[in-house]
Amino acid sequence: VDSRVLRTFVTVARCASFSAAADELSLTQAAVSQQIAALEAELGASLLHRRPVVPTEAGRRLLHHARAVLLRLDAARVEVARLSAPGPATLAVGSSPLAFDARAAEAVQAVRSRFPGLEASVYVLSRSAVAEGVATGRLDVGLLDGVVATTDPLGHADVGLLAVEGVAEDDLAVALPVGHPLAGRAALRLHDLVDAPWIDAPDVAGSLDDLRAAAGSGAFAPSLRCDGCDVRALLALVSAGQGLAVIPASVARGAEGIVALPLVSPRLVHRIELFHATVLDEAGAGFVAALDRAPQALRSGQSGR
Amino acid sequence: VDSRVLRTFVTVARCASFSAAADELSLTQAAVSQQIAALEAELGASLLHRRPVVPTEAGRRLLHHARAVLLRLDAARVEVARLSAPGPATLAVGSSPLAFDARAAEAVQAVRSRFPGLEASVYVLSRSAVAEGVATGRLDVGLLDGVVATTDPLGHADVGLLAVEGVAEDDLAVALPVGHPLAGRAALRLHDLVDAPWIDAPDVAGSLDDLRAAAGSGAFAPSLRCDGCDVRALLALVSAGQGLAVIPASVARGAEGIVALPLVSPRLVHRIELFHATVLDEAGAGFVAALDRAPQALRSGQSGR
DNA sequence: ACAACTTACGGGGGCCGTAACAATT
DNA sequence: AATTGTTACGGCCCCCGTAAGTTGT
């Protein structure tokens, strides 16, 4: 299998069009058609419905793997290139919105004070953008957060290719507007809130999919979707009574107009994990080390790969 | 990049010989030489030292990625094939030695009683064999254990391609022979044992590499290496005073001739994770569900991918 | 001198582009 | 009728095998 074929496949799937994909890849659409046909023949299964162009079940599975393979090949290329031509040390940190906490900021501070002239940047991005950035080498380190059961890893398969370290865990809270009927309680169980109106803000907090998975099979109908990476907007919406949201307790604490009640069941946590390219320059290594040393870090040593 | 080139590369690296690899791949060694040369040209870096044939630093990095890519491509092929031609339901469970506990056994029992004629097998294998088996579809589900800091995921990058769920965590203990000078203590800190003689049994317990990573940079010189998957042999060696070992507390409890002291610092746990192919037949799904329902399961719902 | 990897060269297969064809809207 | 995907065909490139060359032991 040639990776170009996989790239063609994912492009076609994304464009939902052979001709558009051909255009994007600087090929003729005949070539694209032939590549897809050859791929289907080799795997012995139909991968795409035509007209409209939509992946079949087998196609969806392949798509998932193909994306990861392409990402990993990119990562390999980047690593090898970096080894043979180490550029000037820079620090590019990518983070999903709630993953960049005070300790991360301290780590940036520590690195910048140790490498005075260092060109450093911090990007707050969607989770997938962080994963892709780290994989392709645009980012030196990535911080991703998620809502998981205490014993589960974050499910970022895209970054399975990279070094992974657990960094911190934090309790979760349900954010309610101040006047909410349940606002007087001491704690909440997710089960009691299945039918409540929820705000689905997958980029910021735990997505409703996560909650559904954690709760078993609850409904959790979204009352309002909130796209983008802005926490304040989400809190404002909660405060305005537009729905509930699950957010880390530390984030909820200072917020106005909302009440944050501990979520006691199921046992979920907000976890931050650190991902980084397997080849780091001194600045990147310094960041990781600084985060390691930072106070209140629950983590201790063991690094995945 | 063609995956055949990657396969050639890993084969050459494994054989440490162009000609042996050519033989294994049914190619001429000239073809192998050309493929490697082309790969090196494309990546712009030397990947292998010649005579003797040993990977360069860049080669080692690429090797790592290449293996994962090939595994994933295999997995994709298996999944697509399984979708288009679902065979008879079978259950093949693979497990690293200490990952198969009473709850796993119960889950097997549950599945077999629900599907009476089911052809079921359990394989206890090395961790890498489990990972490969699940990825290539020979195993429906895999159970892997490891020693990690409480917040870290197990670092099995090879199986990042699969569904992952945390299953259970268990405290760790240091196993000492009964007469050992420290045997009277209530608990131990890893730091105090840096210079003790350790038995390195990476297939069974936490490998010394794991301990080193967890402790920071301690020495942990291996006094004796114990290969293979047999727990009793390891315990017997400890009892005979050949060295110490870190093992899960539950395993240590019943053992004769050894004293198991809780390991209180650093905060490490023995974690078992469940991996499975993303496409499961009823038997496989039944196993996962049964393990979910099993008593004392710490896990709750959230599944990675 | 031998074993092992590299380079040179010729043949064949595969892949892309052009172009004609088919199918769906 | 127009747009989009498929099939047919021809040329080119790439890749493999044979065979000669080079290098390290």
The C1' atom of D1 and the CA atom of A19 lie apart, in whole Å, by 19
Q: What is B194-221 written as a DSSP string? A: TTS-EEE-TTTS--HHHHHHHHSS----
CA distance to A122, A188, A192, A217, per residue, from A182 (Å): 38, 9, 10, 23
Beta bridge partners of A244: A198
**Token digits for A140?**
């030196």
Beta-carbon separation of B65 and A83 below 8 A? no
**Token digits for A131?**
């994963």
What was the pLDDT predicted at B195?
76
Distance from CA of B64 to the nearest CA of A (A): 9
Q: Contact at 8 Å (CB) between B215 and B190?
A: yes
- Closest residue, by C-alpha, to the C1' of D17: B28
Q: Contact at 8 Å (CB) between A271 and A78?
A: no
Closest CA in chain A for residue B279: A61
What was the pLDDT predicted at B48?
93
What was the pLDDT predicted at B163?
65
Q: Contact at 8 Å (CB) between B122 and B289?
A: no
C-beta neighbour count of A46 within 10 angstroms = 15
Separation between Cα atoms, residue B36 and residue A3, nearest integer Å: 17
Beta-carbon separation of A64 and B268 below 8 A? no
Q: Is the dihedral of CA B74, B76, B77, B79 positive or negative?
A: positive
The C1' atom of C17 and the CA atom of A71 lie apart, in whole Å, by 29
Shortest CB distance from B72 goes to which of A65, A79, A304?
A65
Beta-carbon separation of B301 and A215 below 8 A? yes
Q: Contact at 8 Å (CB) between B211 and B225?
A: no
Beta-carbon separation of B153 and A151 below 8 A? no
The number of residues making up chain A comes to 305
What was the pLDDT predicted at A304?
36
Asked if residue B253 keeps its beta carbon closer than 7 A to nucleic acid strand D, the reply is no
Does the CB of B84 have a partner CB in chain A at under 8 Å?
yes
Tens place of pLDDT per residue across chain A (305 aa):
899 999 999 999 999 999 999 999 999 999 999 999 999 999 988 999 987 899 998 899 899 889 889 988 988 898 888 888 777 778 888 888 788 887 888 888 888 888 887 888 888 888 888 888 887 888 888 888 877 766 565 555 555 556 677 677 778 888 888 888 888 888 888 777 777 788 887 777 666 777 776 666 666 777 677 766 667 777 777 787 787 888 888 777 777 778 888 887 777 778 888 888 777 778 888 888 888 776 654 433 333 33
Separation between Cα atoms, residue A165 and residue B151, nearest integer Å: 8
Does the CB of B293 have a partner CB in chain A at under 8 Å?
no
CA distance to A277, B111, B281, per residue, from B115 (Å): 45, 6, 12
Distance from CA of A179 to the nearest CA of B (A): 31
Distance from CA of B257 to the nearest CA of A (A): 30
Taking CB atoms and an 8 Å cutoff, what residues of chain A touch B194? none
Mutate which of A151, A162, A293, A303 to disrupt the B interface (most B C-beta within 10 Å)?
A: A151
Separation between Cα atoms, residue A230 and residue A85, nearest integer Å: 38
Rounded to two decimals, the pTM is: 0.74
What was the pLDDT predicted at A263?
81
Residues 151-170 of B with CB under 8 A from A: 151-157, 159-161, 164-169
8-state DSSP, A293: H
Asked if residue A19 keeps its beta carbon closer than 7 A to nucleic acid strand D, the reply is yes
Tens place of pLDDT per residue across chain B (305 aa):
899 999 999 999 999 999 999 999 999 999 999 999 999 999 989 999 988 899 998 899 899 889 989 988 988 888 888 888 777 778 888 888 788 887 888 888 888 888 887 888 888 888 888 888 887 878 888 888 877 766 565 555 555 556 667 677 778 888 888 888 888 888 888 777 777 778 787 777 666 777 776 666 666 776 677 766 667 777 777 777 787 888 888 777 777 778 888 887 777 778 888 888 767 778 888 888 888 776 654 433 333 33
Strand A222-225 with A198-200, pairing: parallel
- Closest residue, by C-alpha, to the C1' of C23: A51
The C1' atom of C14 and the CA atom of B50 lie apart, in whole Å, by 32
**Token digits for B177?**
């022979």
What was the pLDDT predicted at B303?
37
Listed residue (B54, B70, B50, B75) closest to B1, CA to CA: B70
What was the pLDDT predicted at A151?
59
Asked if residue B35 keeps its beta carbon closer than 7 A to nucleic acid strand D, the reply is yes
Distance from CA of B225 to the nearest CA of A (A): 21
Protein contacts on strand C: list nucleotides below 7 Å from a Cβ: 4-8, 15-20, 24-25
